[in-house]
Structure 1
Amino acid sequence: MSSSSSVLIPPPQSRGIVLACGQLCLDYLVAVSSFPKPDDKIVSTNFKVQGGGNTGNALACAARLGLASRIIAKVADDSQGKWMLEEIESYGVDTSFCLVSKGGTSHFNYIIVDNQTNTRTCIFIPGYPPILPDDLSDSILETALDEVRVLYANGRSREAELLLAQKAASKNIPILVDPEKKRGGLDELLCLVDYAVCSVNFPQEWTEAPSLPTALVSMLVKLPKLKFVIVTLGEEGCIMLERCPNDILESEETDIESLLDSLKKKTDQTSTLPICISSRVAKLKENVTGRLFIGTAEKIPASELIDTTGAGDAFIGALLYGLCESMPPEKMLPFASRVAACCCRGLGPRSTLPFRTDPRIAASML
């Protein structure tokens, strides 16, 4: 990209390091004109081998945006493991804390991208052996957390992530987690987190609340350390509930569903670029005061929409950047949506991740 087509922005500042613990994967991506039927033999329209995994994708995104990024993961001493480490290092991610097991197999995915429906089907082949608490000595934890601004985890390597999160919490390092579904041992990790980014079904599944809005309030009730929770809704954008100080004067509680409905009516759904609107600060439950946000997604022309694999990870990578830059939600949510939209314009989770000089996002980083 020529400098004339880029928005000039300041060079990266010293803003600390983002550390993540989780999985690195190898993705075998194949695009097809339509999903095959049983016993079909079809020809692919595109094929790519690329690094993957939620943790690796999010950090690759954060690194391209200019954040110093560091990962703790475990791979086998096979050719896939070596390739994955080299590939994510090429994005600028520090792999010096990654472990290489003698023997075993590395994680990998088969991903079928359906060009007709713009959907993807993932077949995950778990690697072995997994990363465990015994792999993380006190000296490793201390060194890995040095100068860390935010810790990111997704709950898949729960025992190791919990040990790391406990150490981070003792150092007052904020923790972001993106739980996809209920897993054994996840509750202990959630009690330590400052920020949660959830799939659409998780809040109700975890809280057993009757609706999504009430589930978001329940998460703030159950997790008193939680500063905000975001639910991602794909092409419909996202909803965020932010905890606010309990110093408003009103005594009556505001119905969260009514608050969300009123916010939806004010949202401009015709905007091509992502926008964010917020509610007033309201008392939602006893000792829970909050502000609700709706963030819309970028409307991607059908001719440009290639693959949604990794879009959620790119969204999280951009949120990590926003948190380190102390972006307000009104700026952070549209920025993260624009970054995720860039990811959707190429095959695989990393091929079209934007650099911080990309004119599509650079102006919103100022």
Structure 2
Amino acid sequence: MALSVVAIGESLVHYFGVIPSYPGLDRTVQMHQFSMQCGGAAATSAATLANLGVAVAYVGKVSDDHFGEVISGSLADIGVNLRGLVHRPGRIGAFTFIAIEEAQGRRTAFQSDGDLPPLNVEEVDLTLLDGARYLLLDGTEPAAQIAAAQFAKGSNCGVVLRLSGRRPGTTELIALCDYLVVSEHFVSELVPTGELERGLRSLKDHGCRAVVITLGEEGCIGLGPDDQLVRVPGHEVDVVDTTGASEIFVGTLVHGLLEGWPFSLTLRIANRAAAHACTALGALAALPRSEEIRAYRKESES
């Protein structure tokens, strides 16, 4: 069976620890809650789609240690196709430890990038894109992702690009994408703070069909294929942890594209799913389910 979506990019392991307050130097604090999960932009969006019943593959690199086992095991359990997963023997994978203060919800993250070399163009199985409707990229593997996007453009496969910041290859990837999702921080590097509509139009001028800026607790704003400006306010929830919310937003957005929903409806539902993602410890603990998406749609259309 042909895949509907192929996601290429980052995966890592998140360790979460909930503490009453951050300790001073030379102090020890007892964690109230602990969780270990697969994370990373492309991997989390792929998990979101798989949890919604979409045939999706994840292409990326993992180490052959415990970190790689956590990533591959977690994604496989959710139903992500891992035929394109590249294993790096003798390497150390990336991981992050995130300490979350229970009362204020503030986060302190400690990250190790590991020593995995970049994904080579030759390591990407482009046959995965045969019959796929969308290629999902996160900008973390520019050489491999540019090659995949070029292949997709010649195969009638739409390209969705999610960017949180500028990296080598960013400009080339934007020129190849159909749907672009960026953070407010990314836009602040292009236009003065607050000029979001100007930022949307500037990015859309690169040839994208639609552009979306995520605004955290303030929701999102997007410029659709027909140049319709859509503003979606934030949805108030009791926040536990915000890790992975934007990745769940992107995964849900791609689900909406597959379903053929109107642009404005897609943003409202994706925004709702992202808000819900903040109510649990780690993104994989709050992946949207099909029945929740149906409820969000009913809520959005009422």
TM-score by length of 1: 0.76
Residue 329 (1) aligns with residue 266 (2) = no
Tell me how far apart the structure 1 counterparts of residues 255 and 189 of structure 2 sit (CA, whole Å). 29
Structure 1: 5+ residue stretches without partners: 1-13, 245-289
2:189 to 205, 226, 229: 205
1:210 Cα offset (Å):
8.2
2:214 to 209, 232, 235: 232
Equivalent residue runs for 1:258-273 within 5 Å: none
Tell me how far apart the structure 1 counterparts of residues 287 and 278 of structure 2 sit (CA, whole Å). 9
Residue 296 (1) aligns with residue 280 (2) = no
Structure 2: 5+ residue stretches without partners: none
Equivalent residue runs for 1:141-156 within 5 Å: 141=126, 143-156=127-140
Which residue of 1 is the match for residue 81 of structure 2?
Answer: 94
Which residue of 2 is the match for residue 339 of structure 1?
Answer: 273
Cα RMSD, aligned residues only: 2.1
Between 147-156 and 203-212, report the one with greater CA deviation: 203-212
Which residue of 1 is the match for residue 287 of structure 2?
Answer: 353
Tell me how far apart the structure 1 counterparts of residues 251 and 136 of structure 2 sit (CA, whole Å). 10
Tell me how far apart the structure 2 counterparts of residues 37 and 92 of structure 1 sit (CA, whole Å). 42
Secondary structure at the residue paired with 1:357?
Answer: helix
Secondary structure at the residue paired with 1:308?
Answer: coil
Equivalent residue runs for 1:1-366 within 5 Å: 17-136=4-123, 140-141=125-126, 143-206=127-190, 211-221=195-205, 223-224=206-207, 226-244=208-226, 290-300=227-237, 302=238, 305-358=239-292, 361-364=293-296
Tell me how far apart the structure 1 counterparts of residues 246 and 194 of structure 2 sit (CA, whole Å). 25
Secondary structure at the residue paired with 1:188?
Answer: helix
Secondary structure at the residue paired with 2:62?
Answer: strand
Q: Cα 1:236–1:100, aligned 2, differ >3 Å: closer, same or farther?
A: same
1:217 Cα offset (Å):
1.4
Superposed CA deviations along residues 90-114 of structure 1, whole A, max 9, x for unmatched, are 0110011101112111121111222
Tell me how far apart the structure 1 counterparts of residues 67 and 289 of structure 2 sit (CA, whole Å). 26
Superposed CA deviations along residues 214-256 of structure 1, whole A, max 9, x for unmatched, are 12111122x02x0111111111111111242xxxxxxxxxxxx
Between Structure 1 and Structure 2, which shows a larger proportion of helix residues?
2
1:36 Cα offset (Å):
3.5
Superposed CA deviations along residues 329-358 of structure 1, whole A, max 9, x for unmatched, are 221112112211222121111112122134
Which residue of 2 is the match for residue 254 of structure 1?
Answer: none
Matched letter for residue 238 of structure 1: C
Matched letter for residue 263 of structure 2: P
Superposed CA deviations along residues 272-321 of structure 1, whole A, max 9, x for unmatched, are xxxxxxxxxxxxxxxxxx22111122211x3xx21111111111110010
Larger radius of gyration: 1
Tell me how far apart the structure 1 counterparts of residues 212 and 180 of structure 2 sit (CA, whole Å). 6
Q: Cα 1:82–1:15, aligned 2, differ >3 Å: closer, same or farther?
A: closer
Q: Cα 1:335–1:17, aligned 2, differ >3 Å: closer, same or farther?
A: same
Aligned residues: 298
Q: CA contact under 8 A between 1:18 and 1:150: conserved in structure 2? A: yes
Superposed CA deviations along residues 128-174 of structure 1, whole A, max 9, x for unmatched, are 3334334426xx21x21122111111111111111111111121211
Q: CA contact under 8 A between 1:182 and 1:206: conserved in structure 2? A: no
Matched letter for residue 193 of structure 1: C
Q: CA contact under 8 A between 2:20 and 2:31: conserved in structure 1? A: yes
Percent of aligned pairs sharing the same letter: 31
Q: CA contact under 8 A between 1:319 and 1:332: conserved in structure 2? A: yes
Tell me how far apart the structure 1 counterparts of residues 47 and 121 of structure 2 sit (CA, whole Å). 27
TM-score by length of 2: 0.92
1:16 Cα offset (Å):
5.2
Tell me how far apart the structure 2 counterparts of residues 311 and 83 of structure 1 sit (CA, whole Å). 20
Q: CA contact under 8 A between 1:130 and 1:157: conserved in structure 2? A: no
Q: Cα 1:68–1:96, aligned 2, differ >3 Å: closer, same or farther?
A: same
Matched letter for residue 102 of structure 1: P
Tell me how far apart the structure 1 counterparts of residues 192 and 122 of structure 2 sit (CA, whole Å). 35
Secondary structure at the residue paired with 2:45?
Answer: helix
